[in-house]
Amino acid sequence: MRSMAAIFAVGLLAASSSLPAAAAEPHISDWNRIEQAASGQTVYFNAWGGSENINAYLQWVSSEMQSRYRVTVVQVKLDDTASAVAKVIAEKASGKNEGGSVDLIWINGENFVSMKQKNLLLTPGWATALPNWRYVDSENQPTILTDFTEPTEGLESPWGGAKMVFFYDSARTDASSLPDNSAQLLDWAKKNPGRFSYPAPPDFIGSSFLKQVLAEVIDDPAKLSQPVNEASFERDVAPLFAYLDALHPVAWRSGKTFPQNYPDMKQKLADSELDIIFAFNPAEASAGIKAGELPETVRSFTFSRGTLGNTHFVAIPYNANAKEGALLTANFLISPEAQLRKQNPTYWGDPTVLAISKLPEADRAAFAALDLGAATLAPDKLGPVIAEPHTTWMNRIEVEWRRRYASGN
C-alpha cells in the first residue's frame, strides 16, 4: 500500500496550491480509517437515470454498500450530467467548499474536462490509490488513462467500457448486405430509404454517430486529438455535413425528424420502422432480447476498421460531504464482484474495465462462464477502438448541426 500512498501524496502536493479551501482530504493510504469514517455516511451518487436496468443495478450497489459498510448510497437521477457539474460550480462560487450536495458523479468527456479545468475534483491520484485499482486494465485500455484526449491523472475512477455497435434483425435483413464503414452505410441507406436514422444532437448517441462519421471522413484524423482550429474548422467538417446532406433525404422520415434517443430507435427496430440501429454498449441487443423488447433474431455487427469507444468513470467533487463513503463506493464499483454483475446482460451488460488475467482464479472462471447473449459480439470481434475527439469538436459540431438541420425537427 506504500506505493498507493506515494502516488496520492504526489498528487496532493501538486494540486494543493490550486484547489479551493476545503475540508481535510481523506488519508487514502489508511484504508481501515477510510472504512471507519465512511460508516454511517450517505453518498449522493449523481448518475444518469434513464435506464431501468442501470437504476436497478445501482439499487443493488446501494444494498451491498449498506450491508458491508453501513454506507447509504442514494442515486440522484439525472437527465444530463452537466446539471450535477453546474451544482458544484454554483457551490464553489458561493464559497461552499465543504458539505457539498454531490458526493459521487458518473462522468466522462467534456463534463470531466470542465471539472478538471475548474479544480472541482478531489485531489489527483485518489483513483489509482484505490485497493481494487490493482485489477484495472490500464495497460490494454488506453481510454482508462485518457478521457476524450484529457489525461485522467487519477481524478476519476473507471467504471465501464463503451463501444459503438450496430444492430439489425436477421429475420428481415441479410447479413451479407450489412455495411462495413460509414460510406457503405450511406450506400445501404440509399438502397433502403427510410430504414436508418440517428437521434438528433445533443443526444449522446446521436452525437456519437456524428463523431464516428467525422473520424472516417476528415482529411487528417490526427486533427481530432487536438482542440478545434477555428481557421480550418469549416474545411475540416465539410465532409461530415456533405455526408449528412446525402443521408437525410434517404433517412427515416426523410430526415425531417429524428428518433428521440436509443430507446426510441430500439422500439423502431422492434416495430420494423428501422432496419439498422446502433448503441454505445455491445450488450444492448442481448439485454433487449432478454427483456422482451427486441426479437430473438436481432444480431450485432461493427466496422472492421473500428468504431468509436471510450471509458466512463466516477469522480468525487472537491467539496463532497461524504468523501470517505464516496471513495469506498468507487472502490466497490471496480471490485471483481461488482464488475461481473455489471457485465452480465441480465443486469446491465456493460463491458468491464478489469484485466481478467489480474483476477483471482475463481473470478476469472466466473467471467469466463458469463453468458453474454447470442446478440453480443465476442470481445475479439468488436474491432479496433476509434478514440473520442477532443471535447471542443463536439461543441462546435452540435452548434453547426442545429444551424443546418434543427428547423427540420
Contacts of 27 (CB under 8 A, 6+ apart): 33, 34
pLDDT value for 24: 63
**130 and 218 within one domain:** no
Is the same domain home to 329 and 349? Answer: yes
Domain count, the chain: 2
Retrieve residue 226's grid coordinates: 487536438
Give the per-residue pLDDT at 240.
98
Encode burial over 260-288: b for 16+ CB neighbours within 10 A, e otherwise: eebbbbbbbbbeebbbbbbbbbbbbbbbb
Same domain for 278 and 342, yes or no, is no
Tell me the C-alpha distance between 263 and 210, whole Å. 18
- Both 289 and 192 in one domain: the answer is yes
What residue numbers bound the domain in which 190 lies? 163-309+384-408
Same-domain status, 108 and 196: no
User: Are 357 and 236 part of one and the same domain?
Assistant: no
Residue 95's region, left for phi above 0, alpha for psi from -120 to 50, else beta, is left
Q: Would you tell me the crossing angle of helices 391-405 and 109-117 to the nearest 10 degrees?
A: 120
pTM: predicted TM-score of the whole model, two decimal places:
0.79
Q: What is the bridge-based pairing of β-strands 150-151 and 146-147?
A: antiparallel
Q: Are residues 252 and 286 in the same domain?
A: yes
- Amino acid 142: pLDDT: 84
Residue-by-residue pLDDT tens, the chain, 409 positions: 333 343 343 333 333 334 444 456 777 889 999 999 999 999 999 999 988 889 999 999 999 999 999 999 999 999 889 999 999 999 999 999 999 999 999 999 889 999 999 999 999 999 999 999 999 999 988 899 999 889 999 999 999 998 999 999 999 999 999 999 999 999 999 999 999 999 999 898 999 999 999 999 999 999 999 999 999 999 999 999 999 999 999 999 999 999 999 999 999 999 999 999 999 999 999 989 988 999 999 999 999 999 999 999 999 999 999 999 999 999 999 999 999 999 998 898 889 999 999 999 999 999 999 999 989 998 778 888 898 999 899 989 999 999 999 864 4
Q: At what angle do helices 204-217 and 182-191 cross, to 10 degrees?
A: 110
Q: How far apart are CA 179 and CA 305, in angstroms?
A: 12
Q: Clarify whether residues 338 and 393 are in a common domain.
A: no
pLDDT of residue 2: 35
Bridge partner list, 307: 385
Same domain, 186 and 286: yes
Q: Under a CB-based contact definition with an 8 Å cutoff, are residues 393 and 215 in contact? A: no
CB 390 within 8 A of CB 181: no
- Report the helix count and the strand count for the chain, using DSSP H and E: 14, 11
Same domain, 300 and 317: no
Nearest partner of 8 among 22, 32, 29, judged by Cα: 29
Residue 266 grid coordinates: 430500439
CATH number for the domain spanning 246: value is: 3.40.190.10
- Judgement on whether residues 285 and 226 belong to the same structural domain of the protein: yes
Look up residue 273 and give its DSSP letter.
S
Residues 259 and 390 in one domain: yes
Inter-axis angle of helices 52-69 and 336-343, nearest 10? 160
